[in-house]
Amino acid sequence: MITVKNGLLISVEGIDGCGKSTFIKNLQRKLQEHNVDHIITKEPGGSPLGKLLRQIILTKEVPLCSKSEYLLFAADRAQHIEQIIKPALIDNKVIVSDRMGDSSIVYQGYARGLDIDMIKTINAWATNGTVPDIIFYLNIDVPTAFKRIYERKEELTSFEREHEDFMYKVKKGFDELFNNKDNVVKLDAHQTPDTLAQQAIEVILQKAKK
């Protein structure tokens, strides 16, 4: 079993429809093949509290203002770090999380128009300064992402129901945020799922050896 001293925290980011779920499923298979001790988690919904908050956020059965939406994500994030991520890091596990704090900077900051510096401050407070060691950014164009979303023929989340203009703001936000970050690995999400997973596992194994 491969473990990593002090653990390894990985987040997977990208616009809706970029293929995060498929990517993580295939990456998990690669981690298992290489006998890497790992967990798969997500925001929102990685903790028991998060599951309740996820239902509120993604269905929006009651209206949420932008600040309320973000603060629910922040509450989920605080619980996620404390209950799921910190113990896994102590156990020297590789943690793969479907979204983390950068999604809030992009979705509620760049796209919703909330104060980005305030979001960064609250994120840092909620996570006690915990940040991913690796961010896999699944980069894809908006039209292709929308095509994928509607081809799934599944019930759409509140974010997937947003107008296309919103998604262009999200795309621009990710591109700007990740332009010069040392921990970001940009992957072309137009590639096959197996190719993407292979590229990712190579990065993880190299990082684990250091």
pLDDT tens digit sequence for 18-61 = 999 999 999 999 999 999 999 999 999 999 999 999 999 988 88
Rounded-to-integer distance, Cα 2 and Cα 209, Å = 10
User: In the chain, what are the domains?
Assistant: 8-41+90-209 (3.40.50.300)
Q: What is the pLDDT of residue 158?
A: 78
142: confidence class by pLDDT, cuts 50, 70, 90: very high
Give the mean pLDDT of 127-138: 97
9: confidence class by pLDDT, cuts 50, 70, 90: very high
CB 98 within 8 A of CB 20: yes
pLDDT of residue 7 exceeding 80, the answer is yes
210: confidence class by pLDDT, cuts 50, 70, 90: low
* pLDDT single digits (tens) 73-114: 999 999 999 999 999 999 999 999 999 999 999 999 999 999
Give the mean pLDDT of 190-195: 95
Give the mean pLDDT of 130-143: 97
Give the mean pLDDT of 194-207: 95
CB 192 within 8 A of CB 138: no
pLDDT of residue 153 exceeding 80, the answer is no
Give the mean pLDDT of 132-140: 98
- How far does Cα 77 stand from its chain's mean position? 11
pTM for the model stands at: 0.94
Compute how many other C-beta atoms are within 10 angstroms of the C-beta atom of residue 90. 10
Residue type, 28: Q
Which three-class secondary structure string do you get for 72-141? HHHHHHHHHHHHHHHHHHHCCCEEEEECCHHHHHHHHHHHCCCCHHHHHHHHHHHHCCCCCCEEEEEECC
CB 139 within 8 A of CB 186: yes
Give the mean pLDDT of 63-80: 96
pLDDT of residue 1 exceeding 80, the answer is no
> What percent of the chain stands above pLDDT 90?
81
